[in-house]
Amino acid sequence: MRRRLALLVGAAMALVLVAFLVPLALLLRAAAEDRAVAAAAAQAQALGALVATADARSLRLSVEQANVDGAHPVSVYLPDGTVLGAAVAATPAVRLAAQRGSFTVAHAAGREVVVAVQGLPGGTAVVRSFVPERDLRRGVARSWLVLAVVGAGLLLLGLAVADRLAVAVVRPIGALATVSEELAGGDLDRRAPAAGPPEVRAVAVALNRLAGRIRDLLRQEREAAADLSHRMRTPMTALRLDAEGLADPADAARMLEHVAALDAALTEVIADARRAASAEPPACDAAAVVAERVAFWAVLAEDQGRAVRAELDPGPLPVAICAADLAAAVDALLGNVFAHTDEGVGFAVTLRAAAGGATLSVEDEGPGFDPAAGARGVSGGGSSGLGLDIARRTAESTGGGLSVAGSRVTLALLTDP
């Protein structure tokens, strides 16, 4: 943008300079021509006065002295045919001047000035002076060079001023872009400086207001999620007491283990909701997390007679997400298997290393997903419809995504979001 503004101003200045300097250059050339012709005419008129008053000898000496001192050759054509000064044959202009009077004629090689001296006893005498083309153009090239230097200097000065003005506009815009990138990266405490033109300052003020509003909304959302999770402590306590009161010690131990896992998950939700955005991107070993969650669900699968096939590449398989979020995504996918298929239906979990991350697939032996499944809040099985959405957002937070094909759900998890 800085270069474009400078080029725009430079182009405008170039047009203005051309519109100003070209007529001025033509005017200087015309002035030089008029100056040379006027000097020749004055010399010819001075000799014409001598023709009318001086004797022949004095006139001859004056004409010869004028040719020695003057810049242009001068000839005097007397009525008797005598030619004084430069020996030039009488031209058509000289013959015409003897009849009609003084005038100036333009030739390819210069200008011819003829002055008629009338009232002589023998007739009309004519004084001729010729101005060559080089004399008509004398000083013009130097003047044009000075104009070109002045124009170039003005253009460079204009470009320098335009560049400074462009910097004054572009620098605040660049600061806005930098702050926007940092806000997009999660640093909601960053603010844009209110500098530059009024329009740019207005954008900076609006961006700062928007950043503050987003920060407030996120804080409210975190607190709401933490409060909601905390409210679940009471029913969990009741559930734990009921589990402890079971007659079968094995059932009681298993229920208490599930309650403890649920309690740990709630604790992680509360901590995550209140955790400030970290400058370092989250990361975990996908192999360890998936293996741990498969082992957890395998116990329930054994109780329901489900065959479990786990094909997990050995770790570490780092992905750009925290362990709790990845575990929640795996739980959401496996929870869908248990919620939407009959007991005895087996499933397979596959984790493969991939370029830039890992690929996680969960496939069951059921009929497959409803085409509408996957949209947030939409479910074909009477649930909340958030399971696949949780998995999708988890994958997209790493820069990957989710795909569904029949009864197979695949998550692309990347190392660098």
- pLDDT at residue 373 in the model: 47
**Quick one: tokens of 114?**
């003829």
- pLDDT at residue 341 in the model: 85
**Quick one: tokens of 132?**
């060559």
CA 35 to chain centre: 55
Q: CA 344 to CA 340: how far, in whole Å?
A: 12
- pLDDT at residue 281 in the model: 62
How many CA atoms lie less than 13 Å away from 347 in the CB half-sphere? 29
- pLDDT at residue 46 in the model: 84
- pLDDT at residue 349 in the model: 93
- pLDDT at residue 380 in the model: 46
- pLDDT at residue 202 in the model: 87
Q: CA 380 to CA 372: how far, in whole Å?
A: 7
Number of other residues whose CB lies within 10 A of the CB of residue 134:
10
CB 115 within 8 A of CB 37: no
Q: Give me the tens of pLDDT residue by residue for the chain, a chain 417 residues long.
A: 677 777 887 888 888 888 888 898 889 888 888 888 888 888 888 888 888 787 778 888 888 888 787 777 888 888 888 888 888 888 888 888 888 888 888 888 888 888 888 878 878 888 888 888 888 888 888 888 998 899 888 888 888 888 888 777 778 888 888 888 888 777 778 888 887 778 888 888 888 888 888 888 877 777 776 666 656 766 777 777 777 777 788 878 878 887 777 777 766 666 665 555 444 567 889 999 999 989 988 888 888 888 999 999 987 899 988 888 888 889 889 888 888 888 888 999 999 998 888 999 999 887 766 544 444 344 444 443 456 888 888 888 888 899 988 889 999 999 876
- pLDDT at residue 279 in the model: 45
DSSP 8-state class, residue 7 = H
- pLDDT at residue 359 in the model: 93
- pLDDT at residue 15 in the model: 86
Question: Nearest CA to 143 among 33, 38, 37, 39?
Answer: 33
pTM score: 0.44
- pLDDT at residue 270 in the model: 64
- pLDDT at residue 378 in the model: 42
- pLDDT at residue 384 in the model: 39
Q: Give the start-end residues of each E strand in 290-388.
A: 308-312, 318-319, 347-354, 357-364
- pLDDT at residue 103 in the model: 87
CB 44 within 8 A of CB 129: yes
Q: CA 111 to CA 43: how far, in whole Å?
A: 14
- pLDDT at residue 370 in the model: 56
Show Cβ contacts of residue 5 under 8 Å, excluding neighbours closer than 6 positions. Answer: 162, 165, 166, 169, 170
- pLDDT at residue 6 in the model: 76
